[in-house]
Chains A and B, each alone.
Chain A
């Protein structure tokens, strides 16, 4: 994969994630972790090669069907990408609204989730007034609120303290236990080592499967 005429960011990658699996993606800055996630959440197309998602070759999925694939994927963006004109509650409820849910059906779920990520008192707050860690937790709440089949997270614990990082990790584990395939791009070697989950290590545009302890070393 390359952007425009730039150098190849990713090459010769062949891997598959089994449904219900939990992986970390590690690698130095600029190794292509975010680009790899973009390929999976359909924000970028490979310049060569194939990407299969939910058993479908995405290059063959009609553009009008792609939104339905995207709804099955929850994404925690590194830069959060919250909508500044919406309250924390509206931001968290966004995927459910887009999927056509009725407010009465999901408002309690959204409130419970926001409470769980420690934003009970900030539901009415606008993103501009939230601290970095609060924004990150809100972005995570938005990604998981729809119980997606696949959860992709780009540095999801980069702006939170150790205790909150553990709490968020437990949320991901719980989701995974319920059947969500989880892929987390992170620099947090400590979390990777303690999780005991397999690691996909990106370096020089290539991917290596590492043992979690090896990755954390």
Chain B
């Protein structure tokens, strides 16, 4: 039987057994965590884009409420306000809205009033602003006052603030969930490392007593769990990618919906997942393995 052992071609075998019966379950759990983390990351990116889009849209617009003074008709006052604003630098368009639109806006509060003409309903002027050099509310207001118009300019700043605040909250919530999931993944890996070390305590003790340095033993477990987590991270990222692509396709050009628009490039967010999972696992396994080996001293 000696001929079966090929001495010149012998290469050292790995110190730790290649596979463990529990690897499958661990890969599944970490893959699920990675999937959840990826979906959270996708959600945060999409929510951030949605909020930015809404804010951009609002920054480029202003609404002016014009109240007629004296004998001037509401339509004439609105037309004059639109003409005044259109001539200002930074204003790309100023358009008086038809009175029906103004009536439509107050209908939900007043109901079907027979003759709205009898009511002093103010007219609206929609103003589109140059994003790069939008004039301030004070400038618009000053120009209207100079023409003797009784008008109120709303640059939507209140809404923009709310949207920005909401986007910030969404970002923080998303980041917190992401960190929680990453922490859970690290805890699972640490637990698995401890269980793996307990199951391989005989191996670790022999290595330890034969003079293996703590770093060598810790590195064995670090490399093993980093590999497992990278595999799990890849599965999780692929699953999240499929889910993200499905949402994008279902939602058409705007992704899932205008509320959460998923773009194709968002899927790139998932690319670092296997690497991050491996990193978290490596750190968790290294710390756990080091502490266990120290306990043997």
CB within 8 Å of B: which residues of A? Answer: 41-43, 63-64, 66-71, 75, 81, 83-87, 89-90, 93-95, 97-99, 103, 107-108, 111, 120-124
Contact = CB atoms under 8 A, between A and B. Distances in A.
Given A67-B211, A75-B209, A83-B202, 15 more contacts: A42-B209, A63-B214, A63-B297, A71-B210, A81-B202, A81-B205, A85-B13, A86-B13, A87-B13, A95-B210, A98-B207, A99-B211, A107-B7, A123-B7, A124-B4
Contacts of B208: 67, 70
A89 B13 CA distance: 10
Interface string B1-23: 11011011011110011000000
Contacts of A69: 211
Contacts of B56: none
Nearest to A108: B7
B207 A90 contact: no
Contacts of A90: 12-13
Contacts of B268: none
B2 A94 contact: no
B211 A124 contact: no
A67 B11 CA distance: 24
26 contacts: A41-B209, A42-B209, A63-B214, A64-B213, A64-B214, A67-B211, A70-B210, A70-B211, A81-B202, A81-B205, A83-B202, A83-B206, A85-B13, A89-B5, A90-B12, A90-B13, A94-B210, A95-B210, A98-B207, A98-B211, A98-B216, A121-B1, A122-B1, A123-B7, A124-B4, A124-B5
Contact of A123 (B2, B8, B13, B213): B2
A90 B209 CA distance: 16
B4 to A, nearest CB: 5
Nearest to A102: B12
Contacts of A94: 206-207, 210
Interface of B: 1-2, 4-5, 7-8, 10-13, 16-17, 202-203, 205-214, 216, 294, 297
A67 to B, nearest CB: 5
B209 A70 contact: yes
A43 B206 contact: no
B206 A111 contact: no
B216 to A, nearest CB: 7
A81 B208 CA distance: 12
A85 B17 CA distance: 6
Contacts of B214: 63-64, 67
A81 B201 CA distance: 11
Contact of B12 (A66, A71, A97): A97
Contacts of B13: 85-87, 90
Identify the 3 closest CB pairs spanning chains A and B, nearest first: A71-B211, A70-B211, A124-B5
A43 B211 CA distance: 11
A138 to B, nearest CB: 13
A166 to B, nearest CB: 24
A103 B12 CA distance: 7
Contacts of A121: 1-2
A67 B212 contact: yes
A66 B297 contact: yes
A56 to B, nearest CB: 15
B22 to A, nearest CB: 15
Contacts of A107: 7-8, 10
B211 A103 contact: no
B23 to A, nearest CB: 14
Contacts of B207: 94, 98
A132 B203 CA distance: 19
Contacts of A111: 7
B294 A63 contact: yes
Contacts of A67: 208, 211-214
Contacts of A99: 211
A120 B202 CA distance: 26
Contacts of A71: 210-211
Nearest to B216: A98
Contacts of A123: 2, 5, 7
A98 B16 CA distance: 13
A120 B210 CA distance: 23
A94 B203 CA distance: 11
A114 to B, nearest CB: 9
A66 B203 CA distance: 18
